[in-house]
Chain A
C-alpha cells in the first residue's frame, strides 16, 4: 500500500533528508566536543601531574651540631670551618635522625644506619652547612632543622613509589618506606608547601626533590625585559611608519610582504639565526638572556607589528583630519592623537606577543639557554650577560632526565608557566574590554 504524500506524514525521502540534517548537526557538535575535551584532557593531565610538585616531603627534627665534628680546633675560624665538607654534615643529620628514631622507638625491623641516612636528601647537608657557615655560633647547640626527604620517599608519599616498586629499586628499600610511615605518624615527616620549587636553582639529576625554578624564572624575566624594551618601541615605530607614512613603492611593499612572512617562519629557524649571527659571528656569550632576548625580539616583532597596525587602522580618519585641520603636522597628528587612541589595542597585541615569546622553547634550545646555574645570575644589567635558564627550556631539560621525580617537576613548572600566561592574557582581555570603543 502506498502512502500518499501529506502534510502530516513524511515520505521516505524527506525522512532521509531530515536524518541527514540531524546527522550533520551532530558532526558539528561532536567536532566541538572533541576540541573542548582535548583542551580539558590536556589541562587535567598537566594539572594532576604537576600539582604535587608544589608540596614537598620534609623531615623536621632537632639536629645537634656537634663541635667535635664541625670545629675540631674549637676556634670558630672561618677558614677551618669552610674546610668541613658536606659529608660531615650528612653524618650529623643522619645521627640526629637516628637518635630521634631510637628515642621514639619507631625503627622497623632490619633498619641499618645507612638506610636512615639515605632518607634525607643530599641537598639538606649543603643547606645546613651554609647555615652554619653564616652563623658559627650555632655550633655546639641543638637546632630544629627542616630537611628535605630524599626523592624516593617524597615519591612514596605522593603515590609514585610503592612497596612493590621499592623492592626492585636500588635507591630505596621497603624498610625505608615503613620507617617513613612511622615517622609520619610521629609527626616528624610531613608534606608542606614547597617554596624551594619556586625559588631554588636547578639541582643535579639525582636530586629531583631539590630542583627549583628560581634561576629559570629570573632568566625568563630578563629575557622578557629585553623583548619588551626592544620590541615595543621598534614594533610601534615600524607600524607607525608603515601604516601612516609609507609611500606605496617597491621598498615598502617588500617590507610588508616580509613582515607577513616573518610571522609564519618556524620558530626554530630563529634559533638557527641566533646561533649563526649572535653566537658564532658576534661571539656574544652563550646561554645569556641577552642573546635569548634578541632572538625572541626578532621573532616577536612581526607578531606585534600586525596587531599594532590593525589598532592604528581602527582609528577613524576623521580624528586625523581634525588634527590636521587645526594645523598639526603629520607627526603631531600621529603622536598626539592617533597613537593615544590606538594604545589599548597596541598594548593588547604587545602582551599577547610577549606571552607567546615567554612560552617559546625551540629557538632557546639552540642557543643553549639550559645553563646549569647554581648561583642566581647577577643583578641588572650585568645579569643579562650571565648564563641562565628559561622556564620552558627548563621543562624540556627536566623531561630528559632519568629520575621520574623530574616529570612531576616538569609538569609543575608548566603550571607556573601557564599561570604567568593566564595572568598576561587576562590583562590583555581586561585592557581590550576597558578601552574598547566604537566610533
Chain B
C-alpha cells in the first residue's frame, strides 16, 4: 500500500473512531450527557489520539529506520571481490539501488515476476534489458550484485508490506482498546489532556535532540578525522592543500585567516553604516521617516544570501576588479576578499542597525534631557552620553553581526574564491571555512578519507566559534538591558 493511502486510511480510522467514541459515550448514558464525567467530545478525542498517534509514529520511525537496515543487510551480500578496482562499496551500493529501480521498470514493461526471480546476470543480458527501459548501468553487472539488487528490491517490498500491516494493526488496536474504555465515569478529559501534554513536551524536546544531533554528528566524525590526521597539524599548519590521492595538507589557519579577514571587512562596512543609521533613526528622524526607512533597511536582512552571492559574482566582483584592483595592480581576480566583504557588509547592516536602535532607544530619556539641559547639542549628547551608556549593548550587536558574518556561506562561496592563502592584500582571492566545508562535501568521495572528514572538523570549529560569539553577545546585551529597569 502506498504511503499516502496508508496515512489516509489511518486518519479515516481515527476520525471514524472519534465519531464512534462520542456516540458510545452518549449512548452509555442514554443521551443524558450530564451523567458523563467529561464533555462527549473528549471521549471522541481520546479515541482519535489513541488510533492516530501511535500508528503514525510507527510509520515515521519505520521510514527513518528502514533504509539503514535494508542497506546493511544487502551490503553483506556483496563480497570484497565484487568491488572493482578504484571503486568503493558505496558506489556499488548505488548501482544496486539503480538496478533494483530498473527491475521495477522491467517488470512494469511486461516481465513476469517468477521469470525475474530465476534470472541470472551471468546468463542473460541484464544491462541490455535495463537499457531497454531507460536505466543506464556503467559496467556489466556481476551476478552477486544482481542478486543483491533483487534482494534489495524484495526487501523494500516486504518492508513496505510489514510497515502497512504493523501500522494498521496498531491503529486498530488503539481504536479497539480506547473504545472498550468508554464508560460514563471514564475521566476522558484528564486522559486527553495528559496525552496532549506529553505531545507538547515531546515537541519541545526536539530542540534538545537537534542540538544533540548537531554536536554528536560533528564530534563523532571529527574524532574519526583526528584519528587519521594529527590534530596538531590541523590546527597549526599554514598549508591547505587537499589531494584526492591522499597525502594532503589540511591546515586550518589559512581558512581561519580568510574567514576573519572577510568578516572584518564586512564589519568595517556594516558597523559605521548600521550604527549611524540607528543613531539618526532614533535621535533625529521624524516618525514618518522612521516608519518608512526602518523596514526598508530590514528588507536587507530578509533577502536570501544566494541573492547576495549572485550580486557579488556578477556585479560587485567585476566592478572592483576593473575599477580598483586592476588599475592599482593589486590583483586581477573578480573574486576577492574585498568583494565578499563588501557584499556581506551590506547584508549585515540591518543586524547592527536594528539591535543598536533597540539599545539606543532603551537609554532613558532623563539622561538626554539632563545633557541637553546643560546646553549640549544633540550630537554632543549622543556622543558623550547616549553612546557610552549604550556601548555594551552595541558591542553585543556587533558581536552578533560578526557571528553571522563568520557563519555565512553563499556570499563567500560565490564571492571570495577558493584559493587558501595567508595574505594581507584584500584584492586577492582567499577562502573561508564555510567555502571549504561546501567544497569538501560536494564531491563524489568516500566517507572515510581525511579529505572528506576534514569538513566535519571545520564544521565543529565553526560551530564552536559562532556559539562562543553568540553566547558572549547575548550575555552582554542581556546584562546591559537590565541596568535601567
Which residues from chain A sit less than 8 Å from chain B, CB to CB?
Answer: 17-18, 20-21, 23-25, 27-32, 34-36, 38-39, 41-42, 45-46, 49, 233-235, 237-238, 240-242, 245-246, 252, 254-255, 258-262, 264-273, 275-277, 280-285, 298, 301-302, 305, 329, 331, 352, 355-356, 358-362, 365-366, 368, 380-382, 392, 395-396, 399, 407, 410-411, 414, 417-418, 421, 425
Question: A258 and B207: CB pair below 8 A?
Answer: yes
Alpha-carbon distance between A173 and B161 when the two chains are bound, in angstroms: 61
Cross-chain contact B213 with A277 (CB below 8 angstroms): yes
- Find residues 61-119 in chain B having any chain A CB closer than 8 Å to their own CB: 64-65, 67-68, 70-71
| Cβ contacts B1-17/A at 8 Å (1 or 0 each) | 01110010000000000
Contact check, B210 vs A241: say whether CB atoms are below 8 A apart: no
Main SS of the interface on chain B?
helix
Which one of B65, B197, B201, B307 lies within 8 Å of A46 (CB-CB)? B307
Assess whether B467 is in contact with A261, with CB atoms less than 8 Å apart: yes
Stretch in contact with the other chain, from B28-36, B230-238, B245-253, B408-416: B408-416
Point out the residue from B208, B217, B349, B470 that lies within 8 Å of A258, measured CB to CB: B208
Question: What distance in Å separates the Cβ of A421 from its nearest Cβ neighbour in chain B?
Answer: 7
Q: What is the CA–CA distance of A285 and B437 in the complex, to the nearest angstrom?
A: 21
A-facing mask of B241-277, CB < 8 A → 1, else 0?
0000000000000000000000000000000111111
Roughly how many angstroms separate A246 CA and B203 CA in the complex, as a whole number?
Answer: 12
Complex partner residue of B466 from A21, A255, A266, A396, CB under 8 angstroms: A266
Is A285 a contact partner of B310 (Cβ separation < 8 A)? no
Is B133 interfacial (CB-CB < 8 Å)? no
Q: Do A361 and B300 touch (CB < 8 A)?
A: no
User: B379 — which chain A residues lie within 8 A by C-beta?
Assistant: 20-21, 23-25
The CA of A329 and the CA of B466, in the complex, are separated in Å by 43
Question: In the bound complex, do residue B300 and residue A283 qualify as a contact, i.e. CB atoms below 8 Å apart?
Answer: no
Contact B471 A261 (CB under 8 A): yes
B305 within 8 A of A: yes
The 4 closest A-B pairs by CB, nearest first: A359-B304, A266-B407, A28-B280, A31-B276
A23 to B280, CA, bound (A): 12
Residues of B at under 8 Å CB distance from A? Answer: 2-4, 7, 64-65, 67-68, 70-71, 189, 193, 196-197, 199-201, 203-208, 210-211, 213-214, 217-218, 220-221, 272-277, 279-281, 284, 293, 296-297, 299-300, 302-311, 313-315, 346, 349-350, 353, 377-380, 382-383, 400, 403, 406-410, 413-414, 434, 437-438, 441-442, 447, 455-456, 459, 462-463, 466-467, 470-471, 474
Across-interface contacts of A27 in B (CB, < 8 A)? 276, 280
Question: Are B284 and A272 neighbours in the complex by a CB distance under 8 Å?
Answer: no
- Report Cα–Cα, A235/B202, bound state, in Å: 11
- Cα distance A20–B384 in the bound complex, in angstroms: 14
Give complex CA distance A425, B304 in Å. Answer: 13
Q: Can you give 16 contacting A-B residue pairs, CB < 8 Å? A: A18-B377, A27-B280, A28-B284, A32-B280, A35-B274, A36-B293, A42-B303, A237-B200, A259-B207, A261-B471, A268-B459, A272-B218, A273-B217, A277-B217, A331-B196, A355-B302
Contacts of B302 in A (CB 8 A): 352, 355-356, 421, 425
- Chain B residues lying within 8 Å of A261, measured Cβ to Cβ, are 211, 467, 470-471
Apart from A272-B437, A301-B210, what 14 extra A-B contacts exist at CB < 8 Å?
A21-B380, A28-B279, A35-B300, A36-B297, A42-B311, A49-B314, A255-B208, A267-B409, A276-B218, A276-B456, A301-B206, A352-B302, A381-B7, A395-B310
The answer to whether B407 and A267 have CB atoms under 8 Å apart is yes
- Smallest beta-carbon distance A222→chain B, Å: 13
Q: Which residues of chain B come closer than 8 Å to A360, judged between CB atoms?
A: 304
A269 with B438: CB separation less than 8 A: no
Residues in chain A near residue B377, CB distance under 8 A: 17-18, 20-21
Q: Give B275's nearest chain A residue, CB to CB.
A: A31
> Which residues of B sit under 8 angstroms from A418, Cβ to Cβ?
303, 307
- Nearest chain B residue, comparing its CB with the CB of A285: B67
Question: Which residue of B304, B314, B350, B378 contacts A421 across the interface (Cβ within 8 Å)?
Answer: B304
Tell me how far the C-beta of A10 lies from the nearest C-beta in chain B, rounded to whole angstroms. Answer: 13
Q: A255 vs B456: C-alpha distance in the bound complex, in angstroms?
A: 25
Contact B4 A380 (CB under 8 A): yes
The answer, among A39, A417, A421, for a CB contact under 8 Å with B300, is A39
Residues of B within 8 A of A264 (CB): 400, 403, 466-467, 470
